Amino acid sequence: MRFTIDPIIFTKFPDLNAGVVAMKGIDNLVPDRDIEAFLRHASLEAALLLKLKPLASDHGVRTYREALSACGAAEAVSAMEAVLRELGEAIAKEQAAAGEAPQRGPGSVAGLIGDTALPRVNAAMDLVRGAEIQFRLPVFAFDMGDEAEALALRMAEAGDRFQSVGGAEEEVPAGELVYALGQSAAVRHFFCEAGAAGAVTKETRNILVVIPCFGATRRKAMSVRNEIARRMKDSFGRSAESAWLDKDTPEFISEI
């Protein structure tokens, strides 16, 4: 597996860093109880924070919004913020369907926010989505297939295409920051919408996780990288390889 960051990006974002976790030969077909419990716990914690504090006041959310503005993509929504909104909508639907929330014991977190958790996708993606909402950082997972193609964070070029998970396809404007596998954009606008290219499914065997961050979120991102590596190793029973990329080390090549 290989992941590169185009050095030109560091001229605009000199404090850009990226945590990386790689694992080969995972079995993503079977649900994992530990990951399911983690997703549920993360959903409860994130839902409580959403109830107590709006997204706009969150330091991490503001950091990524500012980066998008610097890219000329102020209207775009980071993946982490999108999944938090998804959770908020799920809670609202649950409350609307139930009418009044059932009474629970004093001090109960569930009593404050209900029992809603993000819907499960597959074990690897449940871990990624849980990490996003618990730590409020964008986290991306890529199916690296047979590893023949490298993942690159770069400026979009003429001919690059993006296919959404729903199947719609469009050309990506030149200069947009994307994660790309060849000429297929896997993630648009730096750390926003993930598409069909490199999407992690139940059949995924070789996976690469990337946590993009900046100076203000670097310490938290390092903790997230370590947490994901530990949980992946525990759940999938394989060796996890971790790395840290910055302007001085813009390339990762798996040694496993």
Over residues 144-154, the pLDDT tens digits come to 999 999 999 99
pLDDT of residue 117: 73
pLDDT of residue 100: 52
What residue numbers bound the domain in which 84 lies? 2-251
Q: Vertex 83, ends 161 and 230: CA angle to 5°?
A: 95
- Tell me the pLDDT tens digit for each residue of 42-63: 999 888 887 777 676 677 788 8
Q: What is the mean pLDDT of the chain?
A: 89
- Tell me the pLDDT tens digit for each residue of 179-206: 999 999 999 999 999 999 999 999 999 9
pLDDT of residue 116: 62
Number of domains in the chain: 1
Q: What is the mean pLDDT of residues 141-163?
A: 96
Does the residue 114 lie in any domain? yes
Q: How many CA atoms lie within 13 A of 170 on its CB side?
A: 10
Q: How crowded is residue 196: how many other Cβ atoms within 10 Å of its Cβ?
A: 16
pLDDT band at 68; cut points 50, 70, 90: very high
Does the residue 46 lie in any domain? yes
pLDDT of residue 104: 46
Does the residue 76 lie in any domain? yes
Q: What is the mean pLDDT of residues 8-32?
A: 96
pLDDT band at 7; cut points 50, 70, 90: very high
Query: In angstroms, rounded to a whole number, what is the distance separating the alpha carbons of residues 75 and 177?
Result: 14
Query: In angstroms, rounded to a whole number, what is the distance separating the alpha carbons of residues 118 and 43?
Result: 6
Query: In angstroms, rounded to a whole number, what is the distance separating the alpha carbons of residues 50 and 33?
Result: 25
Q: How many CA atoms lie within 13 A of 152 on its CB side?
A: 18
In CATH, what number is assigned to the domain containing residue 57? 3.50.40.10
Among the listed residues 91, 96, 186, the one whose alpha carbon sits nearest the alpha carbon of residue 133 = 91
Does the residue 78 lie in any domain? yes
Residues of the chain with pLDDT > 70, as a percent, come to 92
Does the residue 256 lie in any domain? no
Does the residue 204 lie in any domain? yes
For the entire predicted model, the pTM comes to: 0.89
